[in-house]
Amino acid sequence: MKLHNFNSGPSILPQSVLEEASRAILNFNETGLSILEIGHRTPWFQEVLQEAKDSVIQLMQLDDSYEVLFLHGGATTQFMQVPMNLLDEGETAAYCDNGIWGKKAAKEATHFGKVMVVSDSSDRKHTYIPKDFTVPTDAKYLHITSNNTVEGTQWHRFPDVGVPLVADMSSDIFSRPVDFSRFSLIYAGAQKNMGAAGVNLVVVKKEILGRIQRKIPTIMDYQKHIEAGSLMNTPPVFAVYVSMLTLRWILAEGGLAEMEKRSLEKASLLYNTIDSLPVFHAPVVPEDRSWMNAVFFLTNPELESPFLDLCKNEGMIGVKGYRTIGGVRVSMYNALPFESVALFCDLMKDFASRNS
């Protein structure tokens, strides 16, 4: 039975990336060594790291005022590393609380300065993204989560603010063309659209750094990582390599415009199917629905377990909703083929016909 991988993360990777990475584990670029055992300061890995950085700049269409870093720790580490580098004690940062990850990011920032939550969608269980909010002019930055993996919402138009814009793009990075130059700092865990778990991408505009008075631990200082070229300590070599292969695949497939086209096709099919079947309902307002993570529920809660059992039996992997939310979550990252979504929709229709 063919499996269809809808996991929210770590998630599906392109088949060609898996094949190339598996070959490299045994023999990397005919060196006779595994990618798992090459030195991180060798020319071999330097080429991998440079291609990964160059691909990020190419996809984001950024100039040399930005720096690309591949760091340890995942996106959660950035919840503290961002304010540690950008926010002095007594200063204020603005945060959007549109779900669990935005809330956690705001909480971590309180250890370094003042936090003002300027957008909060908890009044409607995070089923929408408030657009009408004001950011204090003295805020050091505004932090948003571009796609809320757990709740299934996504920013489709980014706020226009007069302060530096910081975004956690972990779950929708490289899924669509964006004017990335509007952002002063972007970070993303790799395990959704960009590669295997174990590495975190940080893209930062250099002019926003070095403005605070606090002493920053060396390993947490963006400027020190820039000076060291992401090699301050041993990087996650294999994870960086898989990210490089995935970025190469995105470029070869047609870049971000093509990724967006495919995302829209998959998301439109799934949401249209949900809306057409009274057995299911999606609580997120249509204009804020995520193209990456569709969250929906069974109208009759007693049907949830039978539906999830059916999905499991039919090879639909990873569709159970987040543990605190419940319901169903279908993640449609770049590498997920349209065929998987189409078959899932057929399964939904069959289930609905037998349980309407």
Active-site choice (97, 101, 266, 288): 101
Structure-block tokens of residue 314: 């039919």
Instruction: Decide if 335 contacts 14 (C-beta within 8 A).
Output: yes
* Residue 352 φ/ψ, nearest 5 degrees: -65, -40
Examine the residue annotation and report whether 312 is marked as an active-site residue of this protein.
no
Distance CA 169, CA 166 (A): 9
Is 44 noted as a catalytic residue in this protein? no
Assigned CATH topology for domain 15-253: Aspartate Aminotransferase; domain 2 (3.40.640)
| CA–CA separation, 51 and 259 (whole Å) | 20
Q: For this structure, is 63 an active site residue?
A: no
Please give the pLDDT value at position 17. Answer: 98
- From 97, 155, 168, 288, active-site residue: 168
Angle made by CA atoms 150, 191, 49, in degrees to the nearest 5: 150
- CA 344 to chain CA mean position, Å: 23
Domain 255-355 has CATH 3.90.1150.10: yes
Whole-angstrom distance, CA of residue 350 vs CA of residue 102 = 37
Which residue in 323, 292, 288, 275 sits closest to 121, CA to CA? 288
77/187 Cα distance (integer angstroms): 10
pLDDT tens digits in sequence order for the chain, 356 residues long: 899 999 999 999 999 999 999 999 999 999 999 999 999 999 999 999 999 999 999 999 999 999 999 999 889 999 999 999 999 999 999 999 999 999 999 999 999 999 999 999 999 999 999 999 999 999 999 999 999 999 999 999 999 999 999 999 999 999 999 999 999 999 999 999 999 999 999 999 999 999 999 999 999 999 999 999 999 999 999 999 999 999 999 999 999 999 999 999 999 999 999 999 999 999 999 999 999 999 999 999 999 999 999 999 999 999 999 998 999 999 999 999 999 999 999 999 999 999 98
Closest to 345 measured CA to CA, from 314, 299, 301: 314
Q: Please choose, from the candidates 10, 38, 11, 28, the residue with its C-alpha nearest in 3D space to the C-alpha of residue 235.
A: 38
Residues of the chain with CATH 3.40.640.10: 15-253
Residue 179: partners with Cβ closer than 8 Å, 6 or more residues away: none
Q: What single DSSP character describes residue 156?
A: S
Where in the chain are all domains bearing CATH 3.90.1150.10? 255-355
Residue 1 confidence (pLDDT): 82
* Predicted local distance difference test score (pLDDT) of residue 184: 98
CB-count burial class (<10 Å; 0-12, 13-18, 19+) for 32:
exposed
Longest dimension (CA), the chain: 65
Tokens for 210, please give them: 């070095």
Catalytic residue of the set 53, 140, 192, 266: 192
Which pLDDT value is given to residue 356? 82
User: Which amino acid belongs to residue 181?
Assistant: S
